[in-house]
Each structure stands twice: as C-alpha cells, then as structure tokens.
C-alpha cells in the first residue's frame, strides 16, 4: 500500500465512525438517554485514532514532504487543513468535557460540529490534497512516508489502537442496527 492509500483507508474508517456519531446525536436530540459508554468510546476514537494516529501522519510526515515540493504549509490548501486539525482538537475537548459531566445535549452539539467538520475535511483531502500528493510525490518520497508512518504507529501502539477501534465500530454499528425498527 502507498502512503496515500494508507491515509485514504483511514479516511474510510473515520467516515464510518462519523455515521455512528451522527446517529447517536440524533438519538440524544430525540430524547433518548445519554449513552455514557458510547460517548466514552467516541471521545477516545476522535483523540486516539483521528488525532494521534491519522493527523500525526499527515502533519508529521505528508505535509512536510509536500512542502518540499513547493506546497507551503502557511498557504491553502495545507494551511486550511492544519486549521481544521486545530478545530478538531477544540471540538474533541468539548466532547470530552460535556461527556464527563453527562451533558447529553452539549455532547450532541460538539459531536455534530465535529462530524460536519470532518466530512468536509476528508472530502477536501481526498479530492484535492491527496490527488496533488499522488502527482508530486516520487517513489522515494512514498517509501520514506510509509517508513515514517510505521514509526508513528510503533510509537503510539497504533496497531492495537486501530484493531480496538475497528472492533468497536463494528460493535456499535451492530448495536445501532439492532435498535432500528424493522425495515428502517
């Protein structure tokens, strides 16, 4: 797998999780009881999988390589991507705080803002940043990026984190499907 394929694959997982988060937000706003277990997992996922694993590969590896090909990190589109990552961290902190106080409506608000941000962000990266990267990066750049991604994974126990979150997504998906009325 190339470095960009690894990142696109992570985007796929992130979008799947965003569907679950959105579903949960609608349940909370409909008046369902606040599910503390789901909220705890959601907070962990946005921090461990999205920020520590995925954004770390983009910020610590890919964007630097692209800068070497003339794509400055203080100009669009990379500056916009970095601003989105910062906003993601603020919203993740809001989710964590509201979850800790059991404030379902505040949790739902922060979560929905994060879902909207990430869907737009992933679309821009997939259709603009990654397409440009696939044109600019040489095979040597790609090999360097894949090696550096491996170090990010190793430093943060990323393989285990990924496995745990993929299993959680599957469990929550089944639980939510089980709670849907027949034919929905």
Q: Which residues form the interface with Fe ion (CB under 5 A)?
A: 58, 81, 125
Closest approach, Cβ 88 to Fe ion, in A, equals: 8
Closest approach, Cβ 90 to Fe ion, in A, equals: 15
The nearer residue to Fe ion, 57 or 107, going by C-beta atoms, is: 57
The nearer residue to Fe ion, 39 or 62, going by C-beta atoms, is: 62
Q: What angle do CA 22, 28, 32 make, to 5 degrees?
A: 130
Q: How far is CA 72 from CA 6, 63, 67, 69, 80, in A?
A: 23, 9, 5, 9, 11
The nearer residue to Fe ion, 58 or 142, going by C-beta atoms, is: 58
* CA atoms of 142 and 62, how far apart (whole Å): 9
Would you call 50 exposed, middle or buried from its count of C-beta atoms within 10 A (0-12, 13-18, 19+)?
buried
Structure tokens at 117: 């941000």
Closest approach, Cβ 147 to Fe ion, in A, equals: 19
The nearer residue to Fe ion, 65 or 108, going by C-beta atoms, is: 65
Closest approach, Cβ 157 to Fe ion, in A, equals: 20
């Amino acid at each position: 797998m190339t470095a960009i394929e690894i990142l696109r694959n992570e985007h796929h997982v992130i979008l799947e999780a965003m569907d679950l988060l959105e579903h949960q937000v609608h349940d909370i706003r409909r008046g369902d009881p606040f599910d503390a277990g789901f909220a705890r997992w959601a907070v962990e996922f946005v921090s461990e999988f999205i920020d520590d694993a995925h954004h770390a590969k983009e910020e610590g590896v890919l964007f630097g390589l692209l800068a070497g090909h003339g794509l400055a990190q203080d100009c669009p589109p990379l500056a916009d991507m970095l601003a989105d990552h910062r906003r993601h961290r603020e919203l993740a902190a809001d989710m964590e705080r509201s979850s800790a106080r059991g404030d379902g409506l505040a949790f739902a608000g922060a979560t929905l803002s994060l879902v909207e941000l990430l869907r737009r962000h992933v679309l821009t990266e997939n259709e603009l940043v990654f397409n440009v990267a696939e044109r600019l990066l040489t095979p040597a750049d790609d090999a360097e990026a894949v090696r550096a991604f491996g170090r990010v994974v190793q430093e943060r126990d990323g393989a285990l984190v990924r496995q745990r979150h993929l299993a959680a997504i599957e469990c929550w998906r089944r639980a939510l499907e089980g709670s849907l009325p027949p034919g929905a």
